[in-house]
Amino acid sequence: MRKNLNLGSFASQKNLHTKRKSVAGLVLLSLALTATATTYISNWSWDLPDFFPDPSIPAGNPMTSAKVELGRHLFYEQQLSGNGTQSCASCHDQSRAFTDAKKVSIGSTGESHSRNAQGLANAVYHPTLTWANPALVTLEKQMEVPLFGTDPVEMGVNDSNKTEILKRLESQSLYQTLFAQAYPAVEAPIKWEYIVQAIAAFERTLISGNSRYDQHLAGKAELSASQVRGMDLFFGEKAECFHCHGSFNFNDQTIHAKSRLVETPFHNTGLYNIGGTGQFPEPNRGVFELTHKNEDMGAFRAPSLRNVEVTGPYMHDGSISTLEDVLDFYAAGGRLIAEGPHAGDGRFNSNKNDFINQIDLNEQERKDIVEFLKTLTDAEFLKNPKYSNPFIKISVSKIYQ
């Protein structure tokens, strides 16, 4: 466990966090989920920053070192895709905080996804797991989407190749050993159920909490004057960034072992307002795609801002290239698209979140906020060998250069 937390600094941050106003209803966690959640299971223990809460782990998929190591191999295994060309890591690159630097991701068959790849850092704390599906609440169920989804095709696993893919794994002594170690009580463990469990277990270990900002909270690093000013603006009422990005994970959806009531808001930020109708481009219209309720048009989850310096391009569709442009968009209170098929003034979208308003920031203040956001980059996380591709051998000395 990391020690020497600067409690004074963290207390100030917590005070700012508690000022965040609710922008969505509270979702009551089922008693079954709460009753089965646990933290330290089997031979696994968490190495968490002192101000991170204990994660909530489903009883049906307890954490073990062997399972996590199997999941790490499967996460980077191209043979897990239908045509043997793509792995989970193809769209979730560690060096980019497990995003892919593309506007939208490309599946194994070359088909474009409609959305930008989200980062996986601290996914264990996310109560919902995609840009716009409030019902997808476990990493196990989420893993089924890229594996088995057909619209769009990502990994391209289907009924015609499921058995073949399992045979690919069964033919390798490496996987015979890893599966046996992870599931010693199962006679024939190379099954899709256990593949999904193992990858989810690995994803739960992707903890990022050692950025310069975190080191500052722990009294181990100083921020520059510009970064401090940016932090004050971020957590203050002038820029109001903290309303949607004010938790320890810099988002507004978190769950942990002691959670009872969890907020799961989704927001329309005024990114589009096609023809002044409030519409977003099809088929990328947020929660509306599931509910078909007008108030859900353009509603997307606020992503964590941890490592945001390396996760561009930004927004659900990758339509904003730089942090500076993102800040300009929010300062304007929405986006004006002057021409083309998506023309419209997002500042006047009737479904836009109330916190998205024009912010009077001068040039220096904008630079200060961006400088603060860059303090959220966790360089250790981006190079940590525990999360790296096990099929590429790199000396430890090179990893930390």
Residue 17: is its pLDDT beyond 60? no
pLDDT one-digit tens code per residue, 219-263: 999 999 999 999 999 999 999 999 999 999 999 999 999 999 899
DSSP 33-66: HHHH-BSS-TT------TTSPPPPB-TTS---HH
The whole-angstrom separation of Cα 48 and Cα 365 is: 33
Q: What are phi and psi of 159, to 5 degrees?
A: -60, -25
Among 23-27, 338-342, 367-371, whose mean pLDDT is lowest?
23-27
The answer to whether the CB of 237 falls within 8 A of the CB of 243 is no
pLDDT of 71: 98
Residue 190: is its pLDDT beyond 50? yes
Residue 73: is its pLDDT beyond 50? yes
The whole-angstrom separation of Cα 41 and Cα 263 is: 27
Angle, in degrees to the nearest 10, between helices 192-204 and 139-148: 120
Pick left, alpha or beta for residue 35 (phi over 0 → left; psi -120 to 50 → alpha; otherwise beta): alpha
Higher pLDDT, 171 or 33: 171
pLDDT confidence band for 43 (50 / 70 / 90): confident
pLDDT of 5: 35
pLDDT of 397: 42
The whole-angstrom separation of Cα 127 and Cα 26 is: 12
Pick left, alpha or beta for residue 334 (phi over 0 → left; psi -120 to 50 → alpha; otherwise beta): left
The pTM assigned to this predicted structure is 0.88
DSSP 146-212: HHH-BTTBSS---TTTHHHHHHHHHT-HHHHHHHHHH-TT-SS--SHHHHHHHHHHHHHT-----SH
- Domain architecture of the chain: domains with CATH: 1-401 (1.10.760.10)
The answer to whether the CB of 114 falls within 8 A of the CB of 152 is yes
